[in-house]
Amino acid sequence: MKNRIIKFRAWDKDHMERNVCACYKNLDKKEITLMQYTGLKDKRGIEIYEEDIVKDKDGLLFVVGWGEDTAQFSTYPLDKDNDDHRERFNGEQSDDFEIIGNIYKNKDLIK
């Protein structure tokens, strides 16, 4: 069994913090949102977190989230017309995606 790295980043409405475990004590106690690392990297080798917006090889946009029904990270289409394109991540599949932003910094990408 592969050991999974568990780490988070935080959004505090002003900026994104990485490596929350190391800086959590320094975060202001204002409202923050934690996003978990999926354990996967995109095609450029960048770590994929919950709430990231990714583009697939066909140019479709998805948001990364936890699937309660599948108990794993999945991609959910931003375009509701492509709702049947929901996919679950796996190690091979993450190379098909490229991170282009996240739902907090790139609200213009969300339809």
> All domains of the chain, ordered by start, with CATH?
8-109 (2.30.30.290)
Spatial CA neighbour of 93 closest among 48, 35, 37: 48
Give me the pLDDT at residue 99, please: 96
**Which residues, 6 or more positions from 57, have their beta carbon under 8 angstroms from its beta carbon?**
96
**Which residues, 6 or more positions from 32, have their beta carbon under 8 angstroms from its beta carbon?**
10, 11, 12
Write out pLDDT tens, residues 8-62: 888 877 676 666 655 556 556 567 788 999 989 999 999 999 999 999 888 889 9
Q: Model pTM? A: 0.80
